[in-house]
Structure 1
Amino acid sequence: MKTVDVALGERSYPVWIGAGLLADSARWRERIRGRHVLVISNVTVAPLYLDALARGLEGFTWSSFLIGDGEANKTFANVGLALEALGKLGATRDACVIALGGGVVGDLAGFTASCWMRGIDFIQVPTTLLAMVDSSVGGKTGVNLPAGKNLVGAFHQPRAVVADIDTLDTLPQREYRAGLAEVVKAAAIGDVPFFDWLEAHADALSLRESATLTEAIARKCLYKAGVVARDETEQGERALLNLGHTFGHALETAGNYTELLHGEGVAIGMVLAARLSERLGMAREGDTHRLVALLERLGLPTAMPEGHSPERLLSLMRLDKKNTAGTLRLILWRGVGAAEIVAGVDERDVLAVLG
């Protein structure tokens, strides 16, 4: 097992990564301070892992709340139902929400916990690779609106992250590959040795080799933990973690959250950001080729789905949270390991890349 610590003073917490962690309840039970627990999961994950989690909840007053599977279920309506479930449980201010599932479950559960009595504890138990390496760490929570993804949310840090890699055994191949996009993203932003390592270990990662996978998760979480510790509420450096997200979120929204998985949108978005960087004279074509080659070796898409209007995608990109004063503010790069925030990007250049 590997442990990564997210250093935030009194709100610091561990990220545990390894096999058999669901059964190791003595480790995570001590992070629960009260007696009420609401487990939020979805209809796909709960039949697989809720019983194992429940064995560790003996002695607590607990119940579960399940949502449907997929991004389309990350809604205010489900937050309302989850809050009602906390009310029925009689949850007090020392209650705890446990998020058992992928990024959708984690985002919704964290947002629910941030709302109940103005903020109660929650624990992340991610069961997808994407959630293990990204959304479970850092305290970003939220829900979607028809206008765009994650437009409503709060920063609310978990008490712990329990990343049991055994749960990845039941993860479909497409979702597993989508999680690898977030691993590549960290290396592309600011870790050249990690990018080199990923190129050398791409085949082992594709085969889900346990030791290689554990190392990749830990290195990604360690990188993100450092960024979060320096810029918790995304006032500067943390925005770099959104490389590819402005493009990717627009593609996800345009496809009604059913056409692309989040990691697939990020993969395509990183390539579009790299190509825009080329167009603006910031980066070399060779770096884009290197990024595309790694993503394709990991089985990820690198080209936009057909049928989306560039103008429609641009209109969705204008709603991105990083924008200021009506101008586009994108995360671009100067090559592998050198991302930066670029304000005032000309929309004509963006349209050219989208076209």
Structure 2
Amino acid sequence: MPAQPDLEQRVVRRYRNALRPAAENLPSDLSSFMPGAGGSTYEEDKSWAAGALHKQRVPRSRILHASMQHCSHKMANVVDHLAAIASVLELDPLRPYSPTSLARVAVEAATGLRYLLDTSVDPEERFLRAAALLMESFHYEVKATRELPVDRYPGVADGVEERLAKLVEQVTRSGLDVKVQPVSRQPSGIRWTTTASYRSVPPAKVTDLVRVTFADYPALYQMGSGVAHSMSWMLDDNARLPEDGGEAVVYAGDAYTTGAAVISAIASAEVVLSAFGRYMGHDPEPKLVLYRRRREAMDTFMNGYAASRMRSVGRL
């Protein structure tokens, strides 16, 4: 079908036009939420830390500050990966896999931010989540540095473990109880000293959080992970036999799979804007409208595109 390449080019152009404004505007839209407004959840958390027992005030404030830095990193990660997807969409021919794996990073970062800045829970719960995810980050840094050759990187792993121990000490002084594994010395449980049972570190699985955060897009995390971990069930669709009858497999981008990546990337931007804006005491809705319209238009367009493809091969 000679018209097919032109159709795919028009489709990809539609994707670029949908994603580029989101990628370009997200940094400034987030920056517009930076000043804490009166009555914000951000101010509530700071007041909660300042109103604690004298010995708990400093460690709580330090952990909250570190968690906000953690959130800033997550937002920067989303911004960076949206820009990367926009850049990849400019390439010709269309890349088969990278849009999906890049979008998967944005999805996970946005989900983590929403979990940390959840305005529907109390300050105690947000603080516990913050402390647990900070310790989890150190846990993976410890695992990574332990694999470094000691002769080439002397003291690196010891330094990270020392920083983790100091964080655990800060968390304990803040009023939380941390269960530490006796051999590895890694945190495995966390609870308030007034509660009976420990919660795991981290307290929730990423797969479960993504399922809730992106409820309109089932199996989103699994599909992104399928590409990121090079699973055949996700890679097969972009492996095709060449039209000239040759035996070598051709790897080509698919407009439908790429569209799904673009939609999830825009949805990630919406999650970040909503979570950060509400936490800082702003109404994010005026900013969200344009992102939502682009994403919903993409949803409608992709459904129509899929139907046209099915009709072209006599399957609809």
Give TM-score, length-normalised by structure 1: 0.27
Determine which structure has greater relative contact order: mean sequence separation of CA pairs < 8 Å that are 6+ residues apart, divided by chain length: 2
Larger Rg: 2
Give TM-score, length-normalised by structure 2: 0.29
